[in-house]
Structure 1
């Protein structure tokens, strides 16, 4: 492979990542108004289900910390999820002032909460092992750059 070919391939990959980031931003905007629960609500549901599956408890404050949002935002979001029949609250037996967040319907399929993730998982299953490893390493480095921005 020539240097020019390598640069062209790198630029093609960088443009693909930029298209992905733009698509994610468009999806986040659509989800805020048109498309069901917000991205934060979906992330909270995944966290709630993961903790329940692990037999662990979860408080609204822990959700706020995990998502990097205010507890006030989490309170409103959890109220909407509860109204939608997805979660419930149970009293913390060691501290009656706090509560745990639990999934209301444990038969909820996590892929139904975020069908985009389910489709991506399907695509990933078709990748050859070496390609999956290379893509994972590349995307992890991209994520590190995104996470470091304005941090």
Structure 2
């Protein structure tokens, strides 16, 4: 039975493996972290039938509009997205991922997601519930700000 500190060590090892995978993905697609996050956000929104404006993208990425404009210029130049007039607001633009972008993201990330799902499917219902509660609690623990954290006594 793993000890508590071994569980934390494995969580750290997972985080490092995930960061390495993200770095390899960005390198293979020749994109930065924000570029890939923006593209995934656009693809998700398009799949849900929602239009995205540069302002919405700035809010989602917590970036300044000037930085988003530079990123959009880069992704337009690379052929991953295009801008078009917003159909409901003539003063605004809509940003859309190009059709090939979806294929590229699926090809790059699809195999990795399949491997992760295969691992998750091996959990029985009890294991899945325990892991779910644990990860949720760990996320909550990381959300605590310094002001909220208990002070050593």
Q: TM-score range by the shorter chain?
A: 0.7 to 0.9
Matched, 1:14 2:8: yes
Q: Post-superposition shift, 1:102? A: 1.1
SS of residue matched to 1:102: strand
CA distance in 1, matches of 2:78, 2:114: 22
Q: 2:57 aligns with which of 63, 71, 77?
A: 63
Equivalent positions of 1:1-151 (< 5 A) are 9-26=3-20, 34-35=27-28, 36-105=30-99, 108-109=102-103, 110-115=105-110, 116-148=112-144
Unaligned runs of 5+ in 2: 148-153
Q: Which region of structure 1 is more displaced relative to structure 2, 87-96 or 52-61? A: 87-96
CA distance in 2, matches of 1:55, 1:138: 34
CA RMSD of aligned residues (A): 3.0
Per the normalisation by structure 1, the TM-score is: 0.73
Which string of whole-angstrom CA distances, capped at 9 and with x for unpartnered residues, describes residues 37-85 of structure 1? Answer: 2222222122111111111111111112112222223222222222222
Cα distance change on mapping 1:102 and 1:62 into 2, 3 Å: same
- Is the CA contact (8 Å cut-off) linking 2:53 and 2:94 kept in structure 1? yes
Per the normalisation by structure 2, the TM-score is: 0.73
CA distance in 1, matches of 2:146, 2:66: 23
Unaligned runs of 5+ in 1: none
